Structure 1
Amino acid sequence: MKRLIILIIISINCIFCSSQTKINNNKEVDILLKMPVDFNTQIPVKFTIQNKSSNTYIIDPYGFAGYSYWLFENKRLNSIGLQKGYYSRENPDCEYDIIIIRPKEKIEKIINLNYSEKQRYDFSKIGHYVWKVESKHDRENTMPSSCRQYITDLEKKGYKFLQDSISAEIDFVREQ
């Protein structure tokens, strides 16, 4: 009887836990996201980044580029225009922006899964959204060479630039 009660309590706890889904393909570094993401909050989406290796990795939060699009209730969303402006970085910005994750470290950070996405969308309707993302993170995708020298200096210290790709369908929910 005691085991049954413990099993029921554990089952109930697991039901109310939000699951973390791995969205990247690298075997040494996991990028995890709790899904579904709540659109109702004004808090930016944070990803859990976990380094399972003995290497120190460099991640450019604006270094993912590729292809993405949005669905609302399983129908593709049309863009309502292009974003205006861009983010320019100088060397001091690089020291602040670039993520350094040490061996066996687990951190939460904001990253842009597809920096090349320039479209704007209307997310005002209540319902289920899905962001489909296919992107890569490598030295070629890092924002227009703005942090190359800083990254090269870190690599000289033995840090590794993360070679990775994202292949994900990320669920977002907007409730009342």
Structure 2
Amino acid sequence: MKNNILLILACFTSIFCSSQMKLNKNKEIDILIKTPVKLAPEKPIIYTIKNSSDKTFIIDPYGFVGDSYWTFNNKKLIPIEFSRGYYSREDKNCRDDLIIIKPKQKIDIGLSLNYVDKAIYDYSKTGNYIRNIQSKHSKQNGMPSTCKSYINELEKKGYIMLEDSIVAKIPFVK
């Protein structure tokens, strides 16, 4: 009887667990998200970054650039407007912005998986949303070039700028 109760409890807890989805292609760094993600536009989305290597990597949280769009119940959403402006930074901001992930380290942090996406969407309907993303992170992207001298300083210490890409369809629910 006791075993049956434990089995039932285990089943209920596993039903409500979310799974982790790997978003990137790099084999040494994993960028993960628990899915499905609860859609709450006022809250930042938190990603888990795991470094499984013996190297220290530099990641720009605004360094992913590419194409992205949203779907709602399998139909592409049309943006209701676009945000204006851009994020400008100096080397002093780079020290605060850039993510330094040491060997075997794991961190939870917010990222922009496509910095150039300035679209604003209407998320008022209840249903299934999917964020479709194709982006790349490299030293050549626009945002890392604003931190060029700081990145060069870190690379002289042996740090490596992440070269990576994301091709993902992230499920959200509301």
* TM-score interval, normalised by the smaller of the two chains: over 0.9
Mapped partners of 1:4, 1:168: distance in 2: 39
Name structure 2 gaps, 5 residues minimum: none
Name structure 1 gaps, 5 residues minimum: none
Distance 1:144 1:151, change over 3 A: closer
- 1:8-87 to 2 correspondences below 5 Å: 8-40=8-40, 42-87=42-87
Aligned-residue CA RMSD (Å): 1.6
Within the alignment, does 1:141 sit opposite 2:141 as a pair?
A: yes
Mapped partners of 2:48, 2:64: distance in 1: 16
Matching residue's letter, 1:56 = T
Within the alignment, does 1:93 sit opposite 2:84 as a pair?
A: no
1:9 counterpart SS class: helix
- Give deviations 1:58-112, integer Å, cap 9, x for gaps: 0000110111111011100112222111111111110010000001110011110
1:2 to partner: Cα distance: 5.9
1:41 to partner: Cα distance: 6.5
1:7 to partner: Cα distance: 4.2
Q: Paired residues, what number?
A: 174
Given that 1:137 and 1:165 are in contact with CA atoms closer than 8 Å, whether structure 2 keeps it comes out as yes
Mapped partners of 1:122, 1:9: distance in 2: 38
Could you state the TM-score of these two structures normalised by the residue count of structure 2? 0.93
Distance 1:149 1:11, change over 3 A: same
1:140 counterpart SS class: coil
Matching residue's letter, 2:94 = C
Matching residue's letter, 1:123 = Y
Given that 1:64 and 1:142 are in contact with CA atoms closer than 8 Å, whether structure 2 keeps it comes out as no
Q: % of aligned pairs identical?
A: 53
Mapped partners of 1:128, 1:79: distance in 2: 17
Which stretches of structure 1, 4 residues or more, deviate above 6 A after TM superposition?
A: none
Given that 1:21 and 1:33 are in contact with CA atoms closer than 8 Å, whether structure 2 keeps it comes out as yes
Could you state the TM-score of these two structures normalised by the residue count of structure 1? 0.92
